Amino acid sequence: MRTPKRLKIAETRSRLIAVDWESLGYNITRCHTFNVTICYHYMTANNRSKADCLDMDPKAPRHLVGNLPPYTNVSLKMILTNPEGRKESDETIIQTDEDVPGPVPNQSLRATPSEETISLYWKEPAEPNGVITQYEISYIGVRSFDPSVPLQRPGLTVSLPSNATHYTFAQLHPGVTYQLSIRASTSKGFGPAATLNVTTNISAPTIDEYDVSEAFLNETATTITVLLKPAQAKGAPISAYQIVVEEVNPQRSRRQASSDCYEVPVSYHSASSGSSPYYYAAQLSPSNLPEPLPFTVGDNKTYQASVLK
């Protein structure tokens, strides 16, 4: 039995190789019944060897070797067996074609938001399936704390080179949740996208500094009248104004007595019992303070708001 020759690659795709061989005549098989097998092997992406052998129809001049990984060198050989023994063809090495890449790993996605920017970081797809040529990233706004903020549909789309690993989206709105999307491309096109929802930060609203003479309007034995000013919102709209009254102990300086943040609402009666140096006098809705407004502490009026004392 002569060694089979002319093992040829008829077609190569990303996950399939079509193999042709010469017709098996008398001078090869010696009129014996025979079996034809194609064996192949390749290295996987994690450097493991993968091998298999496929029995084929001896009368067919072509066979398809499928379920192969894209962009991989595959070694193939033809084996002919009959009662006389076994003969193998020369080994043929062929590279499968590229395919679209797999998704960017979700676990590699990392975002750092600020009030008006989001920086996105990523890693190459675990299955590039070829040479990555570019990345395409985009965003759309999906919801906002401020109903007046227009959500961009469609949002911005940016193309980046194959060596890019991060990008910063700028000129965003505070307090908006954006859906970020990224996908990679080879010569065969774009693969599936990986997505991540990220919300930009919201800063606390700011109030112009008060001049003491401007803020203090009047004082009686039981009341104090001050001028309240509306705040400037950054991002989300202002949900409420809370008027906090704090007693300044003469034994301490004003700096020691004051706090920048009063996280726990305390009623007037609780503060009077000595449990707190401050109390919440009232809570105003934003509509109650569209412009500077006099407010009197101690007169028990509601000012169209919730009095907490």
**Tokens describing residue 76:** 């193939």
Residue 126's pLDDT band (cuts 50, 70, 90): very high
User: What single DSSP character describes residue 58?
Assistant: T
The pTM is what? 0.71
Structure tokens at 195: 């997505």
CA distance 47 to 63: 27
CA angle 94, 95, 98 (to 5 degrees): 155
Alpha carbon dihedral 167, 172, 174, 175, in 10-degree steps, equals -80
What is the pLDDT averaged over residues 98-106?
A: 97
**β-sheet bridge partners, residue 219:** 224
- Give the type of residue at 68: L
Average pLDDT over residues 6-12: 81
Judging by DSSP bridges, how do beta strands 62-65 and 241-246 pair with one another?
Answer: unpaired
What is the predicted pLDDT for the residue at 292? 87
Amino acid at 142: V
Which of the given ranges, 217-226, 233-242, 248-257, 294-303, has the highest pLDDT on average?
A: 217-226
Q: What is the mean predicted confidence (pLDDT) over 53-81? A: 89
**Residue 250 in this model has a pLDDT that exceeds 60:** no
Q: Is the four-CA dihedral 147, 148, 149, 155 of positive or negative sign?
A: positive
For residue range 148-178, list pLDDT tens digits in order: 787 766 678 999 999 999 999 999 988 899 9
Q: Are 107 and 79 in contact (CB under 8 A)?
A: no
Neighbours of 167 (CB within 10 A): 17
Q: Which residues pair with 135 in a beta bridge?
A: 160, 184
Q: What is the pLDDT of residues 179-238, one digit of tens each?
A: 999 999 999 999 999 999 999 998 877 777 767 677 888 888 888 888 888 887 766 678
Span 29-49, average pLDDT: 81
Across residues 37-44, what is the average pLDDT? 92
Q: For residue 201, which of 180, 173, 179, 171 has the smallest C-alpha distance? A: 173
Pairwise CA distance, residues 5 & 23, whole Å? 10
